Amino acid sequence: MADLPEKLTKPYQPNETEGRVYKRWEESGFFNPDKLPKRHKEPYSTLMPPPNANGRLHAGHGFEIALKDAIIRFQRMRGKKTLYLPGSDHAGFETQMVFEKKLEKEGQSRHDIPPQKLYEEIMAFTLENKKYMEDDIRKLGTSCDWSRNTFMLDPRVTRRTQETFVKMYGDGLVYRGERIIHWNPKHQTSLSDVETEFIEQEDPFYYLKYGPFVIATVRPETKFGDKYVVMHPEDPRYANFTHGQKIELEWINGPITATVIKDASVDKEFGSGVMTITPWHDQTDFDIAERHGLEKEQIIDFNGKLLQSAGEFAGMHWKKARPLIIEKLKSKGLLVKVDEHYKHAVRVDSRTNVPIEPQIRAQWFVKMKPLTEMVIQAVEKEDKITFIPDYQKKVLLHWMHNAIDWNISRQIVWGIPIPAWFKGDEVHVGMDSPSGNDWQKDPDTFDTWFSSGQWPLTTLGYPDGADFKTFYPTDLMETGSDLVFKWVPRMIMFGLYLGNDIPFKTVYFHGMVTDPKGKKMSKSKGNVISPVDMSEKYGADAFRMALTVGNTPGGTVALSEDKIRGYKHFANKVWNITRFVLSSTGNASTEDKTTFTQQDQKTVDEFKAIAEEITENFETYQLHLASEKTYHYIWHTFADKIVEESKPILLGGDAEAKRSREALLLHLWVGCIKLLHPFMPFISEEVWSMLPEEQKDGEMLMISKWPM
């Protein structure tokens, strides 16, 4: 038997191997496209969707990295000049939430901390988390270029983001408006629609006498100022009321004059077909008021307390006031009936579940129409972006066809400051503060998607950076399918608007990673599986493989530990095949390694056919097939068939057959290790280092030539 490396005689130890191999990769410099050998000419680029730097890496990140790193490694071996650009997001509101929770646990409140100090503390907290997260990314074997690592609050990124705002203001794509916004009263900030969601809730539904009408509401405390009564213009029941008609009636705090409004948005079938409106605290009502030029009055302040119009209830929080108001309505005979179990949808902050309070507030808005039209043109008309799976294109376009103007102001400190100043009614937008006194800086920061939407531009150094010229548009964006309307369309918008081109040629949406039972992972359920824990237990290779094999693009993945364990076994199989191949070919003469017997040549041809299929699967982003074929070939063709049938040949007396067979085993095994590398980078690189020099094209598998 030939001399074998000591470690091959023991089972494969991922923990002993992975860190060391990653260090070799990093030190080689080959993660950096500029340092790749000359054969790597044609660029291939992708960006890491920046993980939020407020915690550790989760399974979704692990999934994304497993797929994307496989593609990047494949492309690098194919000879592309590959860039995989890493980074992290400050994640504005979300990070501030995480930080506030931490403060709460420590018995503190953010209101006790001055803004500048708060910002600094969150920054320290974020930078610490960022470090851990980057370590996690390394542990998974991610072949990204750390020299280009970008953080959303790097000065060049924040400057670019602000400059974009200034440019958009100049182009009329950004305006300051008093419009209904989603107000989170607990955290005192506005949110965009994608940051909120509806939850089903059961509440009492109050039917109230409003002059000759009966109206219904779940929120009687908003009704003090209701002085418009609205009905459908074609509702026969109210044909004798005319638009603009004045009606004197008794209301909660005394007599008022109501005005009849006819508007087609009212549903004749719902309830009595009549409603009163509260334009300050309801989107529908606001729209009706806008259409007819009606007055709007704030009833509840930004802390949830009732204002002047509530009369005796002024100053009370609406929650406290509601039962008292109901009492009063009852005593005045205005309460017709109560439906105690009325089911309806309530909008809440999707991160904190705090019920949203619609409010009118002066905010910065992005005018969406011109931008979404550019997206529709590029995606629908010109078909410039490949969507995987392709039905996601419809989802995105539906969103684009129905977009409403985007509120980009947030009343939180943790974010990129909006470069605007106010003096009375005057507004100044620019990179520098205006000259003259009495200008007040806008204290708000940008919505996190305003900066992350520009990620492909800022990371690559738009407008004149070398990377922007080389790598824009990027080849691939891979991200979670939940971002199909949050992040992806914004990147396309900004890409087209600023960069004059789509930001990526292909967008691949991976599905959600759930627990083994198909349930969404969440900290509260305690079913979270950490990619790093799994990697430490079974090896990052096994984790990556388990997430790749058999998972159709876009599909939900139930992450099972059994499956990961299965691929740890596979890693060990690879290890032992290596041991067999090296020990049975170590004494082979080096004179002829390229010609085979007819029989063996056939086996080589079969390998080529498989390798071709795998290559094809890679090119069409069918990694679930590419990885499964690789696995299957190595274990059930190479090990079970080729190795087994080799044993008698190697022991037999036919010298030519033996020579050919030894050459065959080495030749095929080198090919297998190459095919395996994108999926299981660590063990394949480790095996490569033990294969004989004359079989290899270079020291490092990572940049060796793909077998096709």
* Residue numbers at the binding site for RNA (CB under 7 A): 11-12, 193-194, 197-198, 215-219, 265-267, 269-271, 273-276, 282-284, 287, 344-345, 391, 394-395, 398, 402, 482, 485, 518, 520, 550-552, 555-558, 560, 562-563, 566, 568-569, 571-573, 576-577, 579-580, 583-584, 622, 624-625, 628, 632, 635-636, 639-640, 643-644, 647
- CB of residue 430 vs RNA: minimum separation in angstroms? 33
Nearer to RNA, 153 or 574 (CB): 574
- CB of residue 247 vs RNA: minimum separation in angstroms? 18
Nearer to RNA, 48 or 484 (CB): 484
Strand-pair category, 254-262 with 420-423: unpaired
- CB of residue 408 vs RNA: minimum separation in angstroms? 17
Contact 573, 595 (CB under 8 A): no
- CB of residue 192 vs RNA: minimum separation in angstroms? 10
- CB of residue 585 vs RNA: minimum separation in angstroms? 12
- CB of residue 485 vs RNA: minimum separation in angstroms? 7
Nearer to RNA, 274 or 502 (CB): 274
Query: Which spans in 525-654 are helix H?
Result: 531-538, 540-548, 561-585, 598-619, 623-632, 644-651
Stated length of the chain: 708
Nearer to RNA, 264 or 431 (CB): 264
- CB of residue 328 vs RNA: minimum separation in angstroms? 19
CA-based nearest residue to 701, from 73, 100, 110: 73
Nearer to RNA, 234 or 482 (CB): 482
- Distance CA(374)–CA(372), nearest Å, equals 5
Nearer to RNA, 358 or 499 (CB): 358
Contact 314, 308 (CB under 8 A): yes
Contact 169, 429 (CB under 8 A): yes
Nearer to RNA, 490 or 579 (CB): 579
- CB of residue 670 vs RNA: minimum separation in angstroms? 16
**Residue 329: Cβ within 10 Å count:** 19
- CB of residue 4 vs RNA: minimum separation in angstroms? 9
- CB of residue 167 vs RNA: minimum separation in angstroms? 28
Nearer to RNA, 266 or 703 (CB): 266
SS3 241: coil
DSSP-derived secondary structure for 392-422: HHHHHHHHHHT--PEE-EE--SSSPBP-EEE
Nearer to RNA, 48 or 673 (CB): 673
- Distance CA(681)–CA(678), nearest Å, equals 6
Quick one: tokens of 546? 């388990």
Nearer to RNA, 382 or 616 (CB): 616
Q: How far is CA 295 from CA 212, 228, 250, 291, in A?
A: 22, 9, 20, 11
Identity of the residue numbered 395: V
Cα–chain-centroid distance for residue 2? 51
Q: How far is CA 621 from CA 26, 78, 287, 508, 682, in A?
A: 26, 15, 45, 8, 22
Contact 364, 407 (CB under 8 A): yes
Long-range contact pairs involving 695-699 (C-beta distance under 8 Å, separation at least 24): 695/593, 695/666, 695/667, 695/670, 696/670
- Distance CA(559)–CA(513), nearest Å, equals 6
- CB of residue 540 vs RNA: minimum separation in angstroms? 15
- CB of residue 212 vs RNA: minimum separation in angstroms? 16
Query: Which spans in 242-313 are helix H?
Result: 283-292
- Distance CA(39)–CA(76), nearest Å, equals 10
- Distance CA(352)–CA(186), nearest Å, equals 10
Q: How far is CA 545 from CA 209, 460, 617, 674, in A?
A: 65, 30, 16, 15
Nearer to RNA, 562 or 591 (CB): 562
Nearer to RNA, 220 or 415 (CB): 220
Nearer to RNA, 533 or 644 (CB): 644
Describe the chain by its helix, strand, coil percentages, rounded to 5: 45, 20, 35
Strand-pair category, 174-184 with 189-191: antiparallel
- CB of residue 141 vs RNA: minimum separation in angstroms? 19
